[in-house]
Structure 1
Amino acid sequence: MKSAVTISLVSEARGGPFVFHDDLPAACRTAKELGFDAVELFAPGPNAVAVSDLKAVLGDNGLSLAAVGTGAGWVKHKLTLTNADAGGRRKAMDFVKSMIDFGANFNAPAIIGSMQGRWGDGTDKATATGHLAESLAELGGHAAALIYEPLNRYETNFATRLEEGVELLKRVGRENVKLLADLFHMNIEEVNLADALKATGRHVGHVHLADSNRRPAGSGHTDFAPIAAALKEIGYAGYVSAEAFPYPDSKAAAKATIQAFRKHFA
């Protein structure tokens, strides 16, 4: 398994669960200093950072790009893949495709989280779920790899547990569309986090690391040992990426994260 840490460049998400905010070069320098393998980028759009500039700052710090988030499509532009309006869904698809293309320059998959939206806003559950599955199938056809994230019940009413995510992926029908196992969301929704990972192992393509209170690992009551053991049992060899509040500050949060990663996941 490889370590990563999140960087948000989206002003509307300032104060959200990202370890670093705004200053990409400084965040990458700190990630290098602490020994991370990669960063995960949450950008307002595909043109927020020039590909050449990002390649340079990653190269200077010996880092990879673990993944790119698409949540700005919702946070900034209010786009969702399940909008009742077909034109709105197409705008959402175009935004995600642009982020897929941006990430492809770094072999980094795009993550579909908040852009999945909710059913009930003018669309019944069956129809909205159909829109989501069709969208993920089309996006999966556009991408080398795509990551779908089950969220907790307060953020979505689609898949909230990994098993529900697998059922959705069966409808999508593309092997390159995988699940994001976010330990914060799982702490709310799963009966047992390790068992959930073992039950859905081959579908897990990315992991978000945070403690029970969404602060950095070690700041809450999550027991990471059985979670790490489950990931090793299923042969997971992807990124464990810190998506947590910068508590008490960004550098301290990153330091606590890398210590927890080395203790449990490395």
Structure 2
Amino acid sequence: MGSEIGMFSYSATQWIFGKEELEASFERLRKFGYDGIELAGEPGSTDLGKVRRLMNESGLACTSICGIYSADRDLSHHDPATRTAAVQYVKDCVDMAAVLGAKIVIVVPTSVGRTSPLTSSGQEWKLAVDSLRHAGAYAASKDVYLAIEALNRFETYLVNRLESAKQLAEQVNHPHVGIMADLFHMNIEERDHVQALRQIASRLVHVHIADNTREAAGLGQTDFTEVIRALIEIGYRGALTMEFLPPVSNPYLAAASIGSNAVFDDYARQSIGHLKEIVSNLTE
């Protein structure tokens, strides 16, 4: 599905555009040459028929589903009912992915915003392993892959670095449970982007792109040439999915309030242009 000599496909995650209508998000990405869109993981409130119509009209694929891990969707929670509901939520996202032809569902082992254990990190790690095994088995039945995301220390606590995501994936030990690399979180937690990517090469199934400021690629200090070179060399051929936001104190509130602000047109254009130029220079 890739557009630049078949190397990668280019996508952007929907949730960053806040409350704007889906039509506007699809049109923005179509206009700037994207191949796909990553949809927010809200299967209960998403009109899948409408999404499929927009996909057909725009020519965009659904590359992935971005799970939204609120407190009631906590895969490592000590309460069995909460944990069961969280696993069911992942399964529902998998069903959503399967209907739309997406191959990836992003998973965060704890709820976003919980930065310390409710019981102990050891117990919650074990509970996350168990939850991911159950969800991974279901994902495999739908030919969908789960991608463990490592979030920075200010947003969660259990898995902050790609090394920890790899350890978790290894303990889950399921072929349909892999790892996602998010460049924004890596800018906070990793000492070396390239080394971190190489370390997880065999399990890498998804990539999120933002600069160190969380803005569009090329506006900050991240060396995307070395990042893309590493992705090419380790054989990653999936989507490069933009997850940019303006530099504000609370990105989630910003996404809800900014909506269709023209900054997102600028960022969408900037990100894909910057990455495509790098890919072209590295592969010519």
TM-score of the pair, normalised by structure 2: 0.84
**Is residue 275 of structure 2 the alignment partner of residue 261 of structure 1?**
yes
- Could you tell me how far apart the structure 2 residues matched to 1:199 and 1:53 are? 40
1:42: Cα distance to partner? 1.3
1:127: Cα distance to partner? 0.6
Contact 2:77 2:110 in 1 (8 A): no
Q: After superposition, where does 1:121-200 map in structure 2 within 5 Å?
A: 121-143=117-139, 144-200=144-200
1:114: Cα distance to partner? 6.9
Runs of 4+ in 1 over 6 A off after TM superposition: none
**Equivalent in the alignment of 1:5:** 12
Q: Which digits, 9 at most, give the CA deviation of each residue in 1:3-55, with x for residues without a partner?
A: 001112xxxxxxxxx25643111110111111000011114x21322222111
Q: After superposition, where does 1:1-266 map in structure 2 within 5 Å?
A: 1-8=8-15, 18-19=16-17, 21-43=19-41, 45-71=42-68, 73-74=69-70, 78-108=72-102, 109-113=104-108, 115-116=110-111, 118=114, 120-143=116-139, 144-245=144-245, 249-265=263-279
Corresponding pairs, count: 253
Contact 2:146 2:177 in 1 (8 A): yes
Change (3 A) 1:23 1:222: same
Change (3 A) 1:95 1:84: same
Change (3 A) 1:116 1:33: same
Q: Which amino acid aligns with 1:35?
A: G
Q: Secondary structure at the match of 1:122?
A: coil
Q: Secondary structure at the match of 2:100?
A: coil
Q: Specify every segment of 5 or more residues in structure 2 that has no aligned partner in the other structure, as ranges.
A: 1-7, 248-261
Change (3 A) 1:105 1:115: farther
Contact 1:84 1:121 in 2 (8 A): no
1:191: Cα distance to partner? 0.9
1:79: Cα distance to partner? 2.5
1:195: Cα distance to partner? 1.4
Q: Percent identity?
A: 29
1:119: Cα distance to partner? 7.5
Q: Which digits, 9 at most, give the CA deviation of each residue in 1:76-99, with x for residues without a partner?
A: x64311112111111111112111
Instruction: Supply the RMSD in Å over aligned alpha carbons.
Output: 1.8
Q: Secondary structure at the match of 1:163?
A: helix
Q: Which amino acid aligns with 2:105?
A: A
Contact 1:20 1:246 in 2 (8 A): no
- Could you tell me how far apart the structure 2 residues matched to 1:176 and 1:209 are? 22
Change (3 A) 1:260 1:51: same
1:219: Cα distance to partner? 1.6
Contact 2:72 2:85 in 1 (8 A): no
Change (3 A) 1:257 1:168: same
TM-score of the pair, normalised by structure 1: 0.89
Deviates more, 1:246-255 or 1:213-222: 246-255
1:107: Cα distance to partner? 2.8
